[in-house]
Chain A
């Protein structure tokens, strides 16, 4: 299987991780697209036989962190997100309504807890694999996961 086909095969999962990471499907697709382009540029650095999905998730996460930093520098230039949501008549409120409890709960998590929860509980990575993607020790990954999980359980209540 060629590199492009390999990426195509895991694209739905990359898109899923991106949507969770970016907390927004549209931002998620931008992130996913940036990751695909970066992967094509750096394809020579991928070692065949190693996991392409882990390699790309790592890349995506790093792009996201860079973007988050850049965004915080730019943030004054733009309308605040919450204000933006209520602007205009066409769909803004509807959008706020369809933002489900799980999305809202995930949004409140710090990035490092959210990525740990997403990698293990949604993507199904082992702690070791998830820790390698994040670039932290397994124990750190484990405790971030627990803190994130407890926060989610607290927000979502016992009805889970």
Chain B
């Protein structure tokens, strides 16, 4: 039995149905070359996801929101817009995507839980639910919090890098819950919340690389870790 490249991709994306999924999983377990291909697929997915993540956090231009907010209707003249830019092609382009990622200038507020049942420095209930339940391969496209990748840190604990509208960072599982990685946090928390310097997705990925003891978990490993409660 051989596994096609298409099937291998479908496996990595959580798209294969049973019983084929189990058969392919067995082939992968027995073949380091296949396992490496699955890992490369997952790593590329995480990299692309991180690459485009800054757009989700960037402020929306008024010309996009105005037609929806009852403001002045924008004029959607695609061709004219492009012609204008063709005429003045000297303006910096791309910095909109690449800039925030490269400069890690996008500091997102990481709100740490205050009081309640969640210990200081741990993920709150909503984030913890995403960290507990979402798998990279199968999470919904419109998930409020996206898991970028999962890995084990030097101590063997499971860690997950995540990106969301209100919170982005890395959390590692211990006995008390999902402890938020506070690297880069400013020294003085302000009213219980503090800013994680450079917690753009790119910076998070870089930080994950530093923390990880090995490669990111494959979809299979991630599912197994979830089944075991991330312990």
Interface of B is mostly: helix
Complex Cα–Cα for A8 and B57 (A)? 14
Inter-subunit contact A33/B76 (CB<8 Å): yes
Inter-subunit contact B65/A16 (CB<8 Å): no
> Looking across the interface, which residue of chain A has its beta carbon closest to that of B5?
A146
Complex Cα–Cα for A149 and B47 (A)? 12
Inter-subunit contact B65/A11 (CB<8 Å): yes
Which residues in chain B, 25-77, are within 8 Å of chain A measured between CB atoms?
Answer: 40-41, 43-45, 47-49, 51-52, 55-58, 60-61, 63-65, 67-70, 73-74, 76
Complex Cα–Cα for A117 and B43 (A)? 13
What is the total number of residues of chain B having a CB less than 8 Å from a CB of chain A? 58
CB-CB contacts of B98-122 with A at 8 A, as 1s and 0s? Answer: 1101100000000000000000000
Complex Cα–Cα for A20 and B96 (A)? 12
A112 within 8 A of B: no
- Inter-chain residue pair count (beta carbon < 8 A): 177
> Looking across the interface, which residue of chain B has its beta carbon closest to that of A3?
B68
For B55, list chain A residues within 8 Å (CB): 12, 15-16, 19, 25
Interface size class of A (residues with CB under 8 A): 35 or more
A134 within 8 A of B: no
A29 and B9 in contact, given A34-B78, A70-B79, A123-B141 (Cβ under 8 angstroms): no
A88 within 8 A of B: yes
A49 within 8 A of B: no
Task: List chain B positions with a Cβ less than 8 A from chain A.
Answer: 5-6, 9-10, 13, 15, 40-41, 43-45, 47-49, 51-52, 55-58, 60-61, 63-65, 67-70, 73-74, 76, 78-79, 81-83, 85-86, 89-99, 101-102, 139-143, 146
Task: List chain A positions with a Cβ less than 8 A from chain B.
Answer: 4-5, 7-8, 10-13, 15-16, 19-20, 24-27, 29-34, 36-38, 40, 53, 63, 67, 70-71, 74, 78-79, 81, 84-85, 87-92, 94-95, 98-100, 102-103, 117, 120-127, 129, 139, 142-143, 145-146, 149-150, 152-153, 156, 158, 160
**In the complex, the 8 A-B pairs of residues with the closest C-beta atoms, listed nearest first:** A88-B90, A84-B89, A124-B141, A91-B92, A37-B76, A25-B96, A16-B55, A30-B81
